[in-house]
A = this chain, B = another copy of it.
Amino acid sequence: VFIKFGGSLITRKDTPMTARTELIERLAGEIAELRKNAPEISLVLGNGAGSFGHYKVVEHDIKAGFSGPEGAFGYADVQNAASALNRIVVHALLAKGVPAVGFQPSTMFTARDGARDGIFPDALSGMTGSGVVPVVYGDIIWDSVRGSVIFSTETVFSHLIEDAISRGNPPRLVMHLTTVPGVLDADARVIPEITPASWPDLARHIARTDGYDVTGGMKHKIESSLELTQKGITTYILDGNTEGNIAAALEGTGYQGTKITG
């Protein structure tokens, strides 16, 4: 099971570099609870960069890449900010007894002109069987053409899921914990379920999402989730502000959010 803590959810949108500490602690507690109730589940977690990434990316004007000494410092400053938020999440999980280990995407991925080039998932995939819970994050990746490219947690997840599928060990579920109550239609009502069959009609009526969405939006999230349904993987887009939502989605009932399934 892959679970993402959205960047807009776990940081304060209007204050740079500020984490929503209590919410992160509550989510860490829910992960600890999930591990107690379902110890057979291997988890991979991820956290978005939210306001930790956003302001630094703008400050250093590094969204399209970098070159030169000032660019190099911008790269380092953005990576440091992304890493800092990941440390906060890992600390919260450790404090609840979860054997969480931060996994730095910029060490395990390279890119070429915006697309993924190299990948080294061996350490992460080896470790998931041992009880350790890897926590990846949205990060700034070395790009041999542009200098750098931003990989969202979703991009990192999609490459890791692809790798897991190729090893014959696909995840059962993917959960996105967000600031919204689910995928909303034009009247701001939650769409309970999306399938490849229902999507073409629904697509014309969904609402735009709130928060930082440097690397895509809700539509992109839904479309990549629909692709996963072809591999038998179900995705939940969940309200991260609702307590107990992770466990509810795991049971498949009583959750606040949208289910994307085949």
Contact at B104–A72, with CB atoms within 8 Å?
no
B94 contacts A76, C-beta separation under 8 Å: yes
| A94 and B77 form a contact (CB under 8 A) | yes
From B72, B75, B110, B132, A76 is in contact (CB under 8 Å) with: B132
Who on chain B is nearest to A104 by CB? Answer: B104
Q: List residues of chain B with CB within 8 A of the CB of A94.
A: 73, 76-77, 80
Q: Say yes or no: A123 contacts B99, CB within 8 Å.
A: no
| Cβ contacts A104-142/B at 8 Å (1 or 0 each) | 101111100000011010111011001111000000011
B-binding segment of A82-90, A186-194, A214-222: A82-90
Contact A103-B101, Cβ < 8 Å, known A80-B90, A94-B77, A132-B76: no
Say yes or no: is A79 at the interface (Cβ < 8 Å to chain B).
yes
> B110–A107 contact, CB under 8 A?
no
Q: Closest CB of chain B to A67's CB: distance in Å?
A: 8
CA distance A84 to B88 in the complex (A): 11
Copies of this protein in the assembly total 2
Number of A positions contacting B (CB below 8 A): 48
Contact A99 B76 (CB under 8 A): yes
Nearest neighbor of A143 in chain B, beta-carbon distance: B126
Q: Are B110 and A72 in contact, with the CB atoms below 8 A?
A: no
A142 touches which of B106, B110, B127, B142 (Cβ 8 Å): B127
If the complex has contacts A99-B73, A104-B107, are A142 and B120 also in contact, measured as CB distance less than 8 A? no
Which of B69, B110, B142 contacts A99 (CB under 8 A)? B69
Interface string of A11-51 (1 = CB under 8 A from B): 00000000000000000000000000001000000000000
